[in-house]
């Protein structure tokens, strides 16, 4: 195919041609190592050569799956499933803790899903285990994620998670347009977003990131602009812009009707508003920071994406990058948690 043709095909299929985070494990299926002893040898050899690394723990639970969600999430209407998952996760942490010894840990994120959806006791069990098995101090950039609904209604949980060591928190308000939120089957409101932000600040988090989304079929420029201005008014340290990616989501059927020009226009609206209000992003990055010399991304993500540092992902659907391998834990949209073995 001629280069020009490929370029125009990329424009036409812009929802599919953009990069995916996380990458789809299916693309690497043919390189999969299946034998347990080979896996253990490979891990031992690979991690021996790594001096500096970051950690990620994936929590695949949310109250309900949002229609635009592309992540590994199981709907959690059964708290027993949560306990079972955490038990297995602790085993996985032990497994890697035995392999990975004395590394300089330079970042740790707990993401999802919605980590703060977990019971307080389970958040404590996971965090304490991470501290026990990996050698890092709590000042080394621990970051966690919440939804506005949870942050607005669970001040005590927010506070105790902060006291466990998490000083950076990320919260997706996505849009303040109620009609859009309802159509995504996602709970939220301006009042909830405001209370959530107040609670986060009161609980002592030093760095708050707010995610907002663009590129939705029924999202007007006016609505989008209001969301950006609202996020700025909340005065977080960072604001991240996420383009809706459609693929693999319940909104996939809408993708063909969203023009690339609309998506690009929304980005430039946000870019200008954010810049005018002191939020700056590095070229090519989607996180805008109002803190000087701070990328805005968590230490884990900065090290992983910008500096190419090795990372270990724990939990369903997490991804790892060692000295000479890239691996994915089992994970898909429909998952039987008990089928997961470390």
Interface contacts to ligand SF4, rule CB under 6 A: 62, 65-66, 69, 71, 73, 112-114, 147, 172
Residue 147 CB, nearest approach to ligand SF4 (Å): 5
- DSSP calls for 66-112: -TT--S--EE---HHHHHHHHHHHHHHHHHHHHH--S-EEEEEEEEE
| Nearer CB in complex with ligand SF4: 112/296 | 112
Q: What is the rounded distance in angstroms from the CA atom of residue 322 to the CA atom of residue 333?
A: 25
User: How, if at all, do strands 319-321 and 326-328 pair?
Assistant: antiparallel
58 or 129, CB closer to ligand SF4? Answer: 58
- Residue pair 109/301 in contact (Cβ under 8 Å)? The answer is yes
Instruction: Report the nearest approach of ligand SF4 to the CB of residue 73 (Å).
Output: 5
CB of 67: closest distance to ligand SF4 in angstroms? 9
Alpha helices in the chain (DSSP H): 3-12, 14-17, 36-48, 79-99, 120-133, 148-153, 155-164, 178-183, 190-203, 221-233, 260-276, 299-301
Q: Which is nearer to ligand SF4, 70 or 237 (CB)?
A: 70
Q: How far apart are CB 208 and ligand SF4 at their closest, in Å?
A: 17
Spatial strand order in the sheet of 326-328: 287-289, 238-243, 207-214, 168-174, 142-146, 104-112, 52-59, 310-314, 319-321, 326-328
Q: In the bound complex, what is the minimum distance in angstroms from residue 47's beta carbon to ligand SF4?
A: 29
**93 with 105: CB under 8 angstroms?**
no
Instruction: Copy the structure tokens of residue 75.
Output: 């709907």
Residue 259 CB, nearest approach to ligand SF4 (Å): 24
* Minimum distance from residue 146 beta carbon to ligand SF4 (Å): 9
DSSP 4-31: HHHHHHHHHTHHHHS--SSPPGGGGGGG
Q: How far is the CB of 62 from ligand SF4 (least distance, A)?
A: 3
All residues at 6 or more sequence positions from 206 whose CB lies less than 8 Å from its CB, including other chains: 167, 168, 237
Q: How far is the CB of 75 from ligand SF4 (least distance, A)?
A: 9
> Closer CB to ligand SF4, residue 63 or residue 294?
63
68 and 244 Cβ atoms separated by less than 8 Å: yes
Q: Which is nearer to ligand SF4, 112 or 215 (CB)?
A: 112
**With respect to ligand SF4, which residue has the nearer C-beta, 141 or 172?**
172
Closest CB to ligand SF4 among residues 112, 236: 112
- Nearer residue to ligand SF4 within complex by CB, 172 or 236: 172
CA distance 101 to 78: 35
Cβ-based nearer residue to ligand SF4, 172 or 331 = 172
Q: Convert 185-217 to b/e letters by CB count within 10 Å (16 or more is b).
A: ebebeeebbbbbbebbeebebebbbbbbbbbbb
């Amino acid at each position: 195919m001629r280069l020009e043709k490929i370029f125009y095909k990329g424009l036409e299929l812009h929802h599919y041609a953009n990069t995916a985070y996380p990458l789809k494990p299916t693309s690497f299926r043919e390189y999969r190592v299946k034998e347990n002893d080979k896996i253990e040898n490979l891990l031992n050899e690979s991690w021996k050569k790594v001096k500096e690394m970051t950690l990620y723990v994936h929590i695949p639970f949310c109250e309900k799956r949002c229609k635009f969600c592309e992540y590994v999430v199981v709907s959690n209407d059964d708290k027993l499933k949560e306990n079972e998952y955490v038990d297995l996760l602790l085993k996985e942490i032990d497994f890697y803790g035995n392999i990975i010894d004395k590394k300089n840990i330079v970042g740790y994120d707990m993401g999802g899903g919605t980590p703060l959806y977990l019971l307080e006791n389970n958040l404590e069990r996971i965090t304490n285990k991470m501290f026990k098995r990996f050698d890092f101090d709590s000042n080394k950039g621990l970051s966690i994620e919440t939804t506005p609904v949870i942050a607005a209604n669970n001040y005590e949980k927010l506070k105790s998670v902060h006291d466990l060591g998490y000083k950076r928190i990320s919260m997706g308000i996505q849009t303040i347009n109620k009609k859009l939120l309802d159509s995504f089957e996602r709970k939220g409101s301006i009042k909830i977003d405001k209370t959530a932000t107040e609670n986060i600040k009161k609980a002592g988090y030093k760095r708050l990131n707010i995610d907002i989304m663009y590129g939705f079929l029924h999202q007007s420029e006016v609505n989008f602009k209001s969301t950006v201005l609202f996020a700025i008014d909340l005065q977080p340290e960072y604001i991240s812009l996420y383009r809706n990616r459609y693929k693999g989501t319940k909104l996939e059927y809408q993708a063909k009707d969203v023009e690339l020009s609309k998506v690009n226009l929304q980005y430039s609206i946000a870019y200008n508003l954010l810049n005018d209000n002191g939020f700056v992003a590095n070229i090519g990055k989607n996180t805008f920071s109002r803190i000087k010399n701070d990328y805005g991304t968590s230490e884990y993500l900065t090290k992983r994406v910008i500096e190419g540092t090795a990372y270990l992902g724990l939990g369903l659907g997490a991804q790892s990058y060692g000295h000479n391998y890239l691996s994915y834990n089992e994970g898909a949209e429909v998952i039987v948690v008990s089928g997961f073995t470390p």
